Amino acid sequence: MKRLPIALAALTLMTACNMQNNPLLTPSELPYGAPQFDKIRTEHYMPAFRQGIEEGKAEIDAIVANPEAPTFQNTIEALEFAGYTLNKVGSIFYNLLEADASDELQQIAEEVSPLTTEFSMYVSLNAKLFERIKTVYDQRENLNLDYDQMKLLEDTYKSFERSGANLSDSDKELYSKYNEQLSLLSLQYNKNQLASTNAFQMVLTTEDELIGLPGFIRDMAAQAAKDKGVEGWLFDLSAPSYGGFVKYSDRRDLREKMYRAYNTRAFGDEWDNTEIIRQTVELRTKVAQLLGYKDFADYQTELRMVKNGAAVWDFIEKLREPALPVAKQQVAELNEYAHSIGFEGSEIMPWDFSYYAEKLRVAKYDLSDEELKPYFRLEDCIDAIFSLANRLYGITFKEADVPVYHPDVKVYDVSDADGKHLALFYADFFPRASKRNGAWMTSFGDQRIVDGVEERPFISLVTNFTKPTADTPSLITHDEFTTMLHEFGHSLHGILAQGRYPSMTGTSVDHDFVELPSQIMENWAYEKDFLKTFARDYRTGEPIPDALIAKIKAAKNYMSAYYHMRQIQFGILDMSWHTLTGMPQESVPDFEKKALLATNVLPSIPECIISTSFTHIFCGGYAAGYYSYKWAEVLAADGYSLFEEKGIFDKATAARFRHLLEMGGSVDAATLYRDFRGHDPEPEALLRQLEIIK
């Protein structure tokens, strides 16, 4: 019997004592080892985090103390699977912090942040551990490794190098200090943004205030008011409430009120994020320069498909230059239309855009959300995406009876064509005060193979769709259905994962590659042969008419240059913050206004700001990476053209794309794409798809 190192033996005894009553630490008896949400309580998190950190440290110590010479197995693989408990606890905790937050969870996040940061530094700045990694790395050409093993070795070495392993002791201390501060700032930024968002409510009590709002918007607001115990109709800054109001309300004064509230979140109030932004950007710049990079953008993009910040700017410019004049032309046309139907101002303002854009869309295409929503009952849409996955990839979804973290959540057991279990799929569709805005895919546990035993993933899809009312089922817009397909594409990336190593499976891919599976799925939302399989009027059962589908397709690229430029502006703002080599003298709003000045197509409102609620780049993992949405759109536009050529349900094409999904990050992203498509993508593919160029 092999003896355990002393530290690990002591830990084993301690673990046995601590595990008995903590569902985050005890083996799950649920199907496939699913999270025990029915047993997890707030008080379980801190002990589990502490246990996970101690266990992780002991595992690192055991690697370092191993008297045998460093090998791929006893060093690289051992490190890959170290910290399992901490990863498991963190996956559950941080996902619930996004989907079902509470003051108690926020407090725990702040308390645990320095602990997990310290553990991260304990690993990444461990000189003896890096020495063993470097020994294996230096021998890599003689180790006869498989491709994924070689990639894991190279990724591991580079990760340590980029985390300060080659720094002096004094610089390592600085690096640790900076990262601990950044971790806390990220948490505080997110906390402020959520609090500021939830603080705003607009309660309307008269019919005059509701002019222009369709029935489904009124019903949603009436239900929100009822839930909060107030009379009338309640509007807040959640996506369906805010978006619906500014799109349909005839009351320009109230649209402006909503717009200003939404675009001043965490700015000038008690949750102001401006100082946090300055501190975050300054610290990120210091980290990058400490590691030898010019700026944070160069540091972030080094291991992505794009490779450096200059290439990002070049990519953005290729998409900006032809689109800006087209976007300005589209806004000019909208201004002309607004004046033709009675608008009296000199030009439309940002709070007018959605309102008049919707009216012009209806006028041009005789198409409205009100007309479309009855055909997109949420339950039918769920069945439709499951059926699409079955038709393309042979997988099936069956509702499973396992515990959930909120009553709104449903769980599905996903099986392959041969009956093999692939994943548990958690679906959480409706808004609540404890959930952040937007839509996203995540996981409570990733796929991996340890000692020949495979663990399949727990995938989660989270949205903020309109809840059903007493009289109406949950009906989503066509745009929301497109969003649903987008996040389901991410989900398939996780569900179909087939790698050995969790750091290289599922969505663990190059940051600018990760949006390809999601972006490509959006295309099916416009395909007649798919829509006809499920889109029926929930009141009559009548299928969606061909004429309506034709309108959807015709309207697909309506205002495409404007919306394209909006995304480009987000990318420009992101890169402007993260290509700084020193802090600017301007205030945060002045810096933002200057960065976006040349690309504005609507009037800029001096009191409004994007940066203070731009969670993607200040606490969401997209720092110096927002361009990747457009990068992936280019990949998706070019990639989907193969489905268009071969057939949108073509099994051979789907099989090739499934291989791309299965491989995750175990194969170079550029190689995976070329293997699927047969060539490298070009930005022109997207510009043509958006009809910005011919």
Question: Is the model's pLDDT at 167 over the cut of 80?
Answer: yes
Q: What is the mean pLDDT of residues 410-421?
A: 98
Q: What is the mean pLDDT of residues 245-266?
A: 98
Report the percent of the chain where pLDDT is more than 90: 91
- 117 shares its domain with 246: no
- 607 shares its domain with 657: no
Quick check: is 67 in a domain? Answer: yes
The per-residue pLDDT of the chain, averaged, comes to 94
Residue ranges of the alpha helices (H) in 66-143? Answer: 78-80, 84-99, 103-124, 127-138
Question: Is the model's pLDDT at 6 over the cut of 50?
Answer: no
Q: What is the mean pLDDT of residues 211-230?
A: 95
Question: Is the model's pLDDT at 2 over the cut of 90?
Answer: no
Question: Is the model's pLDDT at 15 over the cut of 60?
Answer: no
Quick check: is 53 in a domain? Answer: yes
- 548 shares its domain with 564: no
- 34 shares its domain with 117: yes
Please state the domain count of the chain. Answer: 4
Chosen domain end from 113, 143, 166: 166
Which is more confidently placed, 125 or 144?
144
Question: Is the model's pLDDT at 471 over the cut of 90?
Answer: no
In DSSP notation, 64-83 reads HH--SPP-IIIIIIHHHTTT
- 442 shares its domain with 568: no
In tens, the pLDDT along 268-292 reads: 999 999 999 999 999 999 999 999 9
Quick check: is 503 in a domain? Answer: yes
Chosen domain end from 574, 591, 626: 626
Q: What is the mean pLDDT of residues 476-495?
A: 96
- 35 shares its domain with 131: yes
Question: What tokens were used for 516?
Answer: 């390809």
CA 419, CA 404: separation in Å to the nearest integer? 24
Q: How many CB atoms lie within 10 A of CB 158?
A: 13
Q: What was the pLDDT predicted at 18?
A: 53
Question: Is the model's pLDDT at 17 over the cut of 50?
Answer: no
- 117 shares its domain with 36: yes
Quick check: is 185 in a domain? Answer: no
Question: Is the model's pLDDT at 1 over the cut of 60?
Answer: no
In tens, the pLDDT along 37-93 reads: 999 999 999 999 999 999 999 999 999 999 999 999 999 999 999 999 999 999 999
User: 16 falls in which pLDDT band (50, 70, 90)?
Assistant: very low
Quick check: is 654 in a domain? Answer: yes
Chosen domain end from 626, 641, 661: 626
- 298 shares its domain with 250: no
Question: Is the model's pLDDT at 436 over the cut of 90?
Answer: no
Q: What is the mean pLDDT of residues 285-304?
A: 97
Residue 445, SS3? Answer: strand
Question: Is the model's pLDDT at 5 over the cut of 70?
Answer: no
**Can you give the CATH number for the domain in which 588 is found?**
1.10.1370.10
Q: What is the mean pLDDT of residues 341-366?
A: 95
- 379 shares its domain with 343: no
Gyration radius of the chain over CA positions: 26
**Can you give the CATH number for the domain in which 62 is found?**
1.10.1370.40
Quick check: is 547 in a domain? Answer: yes
- 569 shares its domain with 464: no
Question: Is the model's pLDDT at 9 over the cut of 70?
Answer: no
Q: What is the 3-state secondary structure (H, E, C) of 260-326?
A: HHHCCCCCCCCCCCHHHHHHHHHHHHHHHHHCCCCCHHHHHHCCCCCCCHHHHHHHHHHHHHHHHHH
User: 367 falls in which pLDDT band (50, 70, 90)?
Assistant: confident
- 565 shares its domain with 550: no
- 534 shares its domain with 601: no
Quick check: is 453 in a domain? Answer: yes
User: 463 falls in which pLDDT band (50, 70, 90)?
Assistant: very high
Active site residues: 487
User: 200 falls in which pLDDT band (50, 70, 90)?
Assistant: very high
Quick check: is 303 in a domain? Answer: yes
State pTM to two decimals.
0.82
In tens, the pLDDT along 648-678 reads: 999 999 999 999 999 999 999 999 999 999 9
Question: Is the model's pLDDT at 12 over the cut of 50?
Answer: no
Domain extent at residue 676: 374-554+629-689
Report the percent of the chain where pLDDT is more than 70: 97
